[in-house]
Amino acid sequence: MIVGPSDDVVAVTFDPSEGPDDLLAKYAAAVEASSSQEHLILVDLFGGSPYNAAARFAAGRDDADVVTGVNLAHGHRGPVPSPCRAPGPPSL
């Protein structure tokens, strides 16, 4: 959960027709437009295209870092689903 002011938060989308260079350009544009001195890029999967592009982007900068494993549901509508439960042992 992220709480508190989020004045300088930018969502970067990744469309199926785009590639890593498109993401690099979007990350660069987001950082350029930011008034912050440090930048944190949150991505979903380690090793996925958004992560790979973010890692390349951050590797060349002292003011950026990447966190993986983040799932920010954007535009969720309706009730939050109940937690999933792992099935118990089979009945005999």
Gap between the Cα atoms of 84 and 22, Å rounded: 35
> Apex CA 47: angle with CA 46 and CA 48, to 5°?
95
Gap between the Cα atoms of 19 and 53, Å rounded: 9
The pLDDT profile of the chain, 92 residues, written as one tens digit per residue, is 667 777 888 889 899 999 999 999 999 999 999 999 999 999 999 999 999 999 999 998 999 999 999 886 655 455 544 444 445 555 55
Gap between the Cα atoms of 62 and 64, Å rounded: 6
pLDDT number for residue 66: 96
pTM: 0.72
| Helix (DSSP H) and strand (DSSP E) numbers for the chain | 2, 2
pLDDT number for residue 80: 47
pLDDT number for residue 71: 80
CB atoms closer than 10 angstroms to residue 21? 10
Label the pairing between strands 39-42 and 64-67.
parallel
pLDDT number for residue 81: 47
